[in-house]
């Protein structure tokens, strides 16, 4: 007979009960967002009336980023220089030095956009479900709090309000859609994940696992890394004890869009609202990326077109290039992860040399190289569906190889401009060199040159995979 209720749980030894509490509380993905409590007009009025414009002492932690943006000290004589003294000394949030200069209040008044980064009224919150045993009863709550769960993520204006375990949980931060990856406007972060600048330094120092939204293309090797990787380094240098960096390929919004591509009369709709009906709001999980994901567009099922995976490029061209390299001993995903780790190591050394040469004696950030992992951060209800999608793609891939008949390579019509003509056109209409990858992509390069995947290119891609491509079968879907 199966018991629905275990009536003697309280009779178990405390050490065993404690282990059960911990095993029943898995790591979470905690998507932290910001709520601004003062609109733009109110904030400008706040500046004009000089209400509590004192910079918070915690801003000193970010000084290596903002000190070059601060104007020179005002040379105008003060009352103190004429012997006039006050009962109370001027407020100084930190000891002034070359490393942490003064942030003039008058300068903030004239630059409300910059002032907003530094002193805006806000709080950080997350819809991630709170671990149930934190609220079950006093014993389980005390065990989990002693284990490491704390209210975290205060701002410079408001107290913390999100339960978080700094050693186990993943902090998930989205890219600021109002900025490019080459963002110098936010003087606290110098990157496009501007929300990081609103965290208190004591929390940044304790984060061990970090996931950055919209970062997937960083695992695709571009020609010049100076246009993207340094801004990733600018983000992670603010987390001095980071052990794991998750580069997010797909999120739930990407996979939600798949159902819009398909046939509404399909017998197998990919995902419906009913799939997430009983799912707690804010629930997210990290799913390990697999090679077959890079061919999602090539192996789309009957429901319609799928989405390219950012690290794989159009129709998995980066995966194909990796397969052609005979000296690659690592799998595609592992190779790209290690490649990024190596580049971060190189960038850290370059940044250290720059500071030593140009800013001798000034404080700077000290950080370690985290382990890089390619992940999808999606709803738990999407995991079995994506695992099933991978299996269907694998079956289609094997069927394509079995049915393939060798034919001559398909080429585009003579009316299509050759590669040289395209490059000549670019000379007349220059674009940034960083938009061209530093690898030879063979006969499929025109997919990027033209900005789309034509039918000819699609057939050439299928031909190569059918004749030469190898692909590992999908796994059970590993959660990280």
pLDDT in tens, 87-125: 666 778 888 999 999 888 888 888 888 888 888 889 999
* In the predicted structure, residue 5 carries a pLDDT above the cut 60: yes
Q: Where are the domains of the chain?
A: 29-72+94-390
Residue, of 419 and 297, whose pLDDT is higher: 297
Residue, of 321 and 291, whose pLDDT is higher: 291
Say if CB 299 and CB 316 are below 8 A apart. no
- 396: CB partners within 8 A, 6+ apart: 299, 301
Q: What is the mean pLDDT of residues 155-160?
A: 91
User: Percent of the chain scored above 70 by pLDDT?
Assistant: 76
Cα dist. 144→20, 138, 203, 207, 394 in Å? 11, 10, 19, 18, 42
In sign, the C-alpha dihedral spanning 203, 31, 351, 189 is: negative
pLDDT digits (tens, 9 = 90+) for 414-465: 343 333 333 333 334 443 444 444 444 444 444 444 444 455 567 777 888 8
Cα dist. 168→28, 119, 148, 163, 433 in Å? 8, 31, 9, 12, 40
* In the predicted structure, residue 212 carries a pLDDT above the cut 70: yes
Rounded CA gap, 198 and 291, in Å?
Answer: 36
Nearest to 284 by CA among 132, 128, 167: 128
pLDDT digits (tens, 9 = 90+) for 228-245: 568 899 999 999 999 999
> Which pair of structure tokens corresponds to residue 235?
């983000």
Phi, psi (deg, nearest 5) at residue 130? -75, 135
Minimum mean pLDDT among 65-69, 353-357, 446-450: which range? Answer: 446-450
């Amino acid at each position: 007979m199966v018991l629905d209720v275990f009536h003697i749980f309280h009779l178990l030894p405390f050490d065993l009960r404690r282990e059960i509490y911990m095993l029943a509380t898995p790591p979470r993905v905690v998507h932290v967002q910001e709520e601004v409590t003062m609109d733009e007009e109110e904030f400008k009025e706040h500046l004009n009336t000089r209400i509590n414009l004192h910079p918070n002492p915690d801003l000193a932690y970010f000084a290596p980023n903002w000190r070059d943006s601060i104007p020179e000290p005002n040379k105008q004589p003060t009352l103190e220089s004429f012997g006039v003294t006050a009962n109370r000394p001027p407020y100084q949030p930190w000891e002034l030095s070359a490393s942490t200069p003064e942030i003039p209040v008058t300068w903030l008044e004239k630059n409300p956009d910059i002032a907003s980064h530094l002193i805006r009224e806000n709080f950080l919150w997350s819809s991630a479900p709170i671990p149930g045993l934190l609220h079950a009863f006093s014993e389980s709550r005390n065990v989990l709090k002693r284990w490491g769960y704390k209210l975290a993520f205060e701002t410079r204006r408001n107290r913390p309000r999100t339960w978080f375990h700094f050693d186990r949980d993943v902090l998930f931060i989205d890219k600021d859609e109002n900025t490019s990856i080459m963002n110098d406007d936010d003087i606290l972060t110098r990157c496009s994940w501007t929300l990081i600048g609103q965290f208190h330094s004591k929390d940044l120092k304790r984060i061990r696992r970090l996931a950055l939204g919209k970062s997937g293309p960083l695992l695709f090797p571009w020609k010049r890394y100076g246009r993207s990787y340094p801004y990733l380094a600018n983000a992670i240098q603010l987390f001095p004890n980071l052990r794991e960096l998750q580069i997010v390929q797909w999120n739930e919004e990407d996979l939600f869009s798949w159902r819009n591509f398909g046939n509404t009369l399909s017998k197998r709709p990919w995902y419906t609202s009913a799939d997430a009906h009983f799912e707690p709001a804010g629930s997210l999980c990290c799913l390990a990326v697999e090679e077959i994901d890079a061919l999602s567009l090539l192996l789309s099922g009957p429901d319609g077109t799928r989405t390219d995976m950012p690290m794989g490029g159009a129709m998995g061209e980066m995966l194909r290039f990796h397969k052609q390299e005979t000296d690659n001993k690592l799998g595609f995903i592992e190779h790209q992860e290690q490649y990024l780790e190596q580049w971060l190591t190189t960038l850290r050394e370059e940044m250290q040399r720059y500071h030593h040469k140009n800013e001798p004696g000034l404080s700077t950030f000290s950080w370690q190289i985290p382990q890089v992992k390619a992940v999808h951060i999606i709803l738990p209800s999407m995991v079995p569906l994506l695992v099933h999608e991978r299996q269907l793609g694998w079956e289609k891939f094997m069927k394509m190889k079995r049915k393939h008949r060798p034919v001559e390579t398909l080429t585009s019509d003579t009316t299509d401009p050759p590669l040289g003509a395209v490059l000549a056109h670019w000379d007349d209409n220059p674009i940034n060199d960083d938009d061209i990858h530093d690898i030879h992509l063979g006969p499929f390069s025109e997919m990027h040159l033209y900005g789309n995947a034509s039918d000819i290119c699609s057939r050439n891609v299928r031909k190569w995979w059918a004749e030469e491509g190898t692909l590992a079968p999908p796994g059970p879907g590993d959660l990280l």
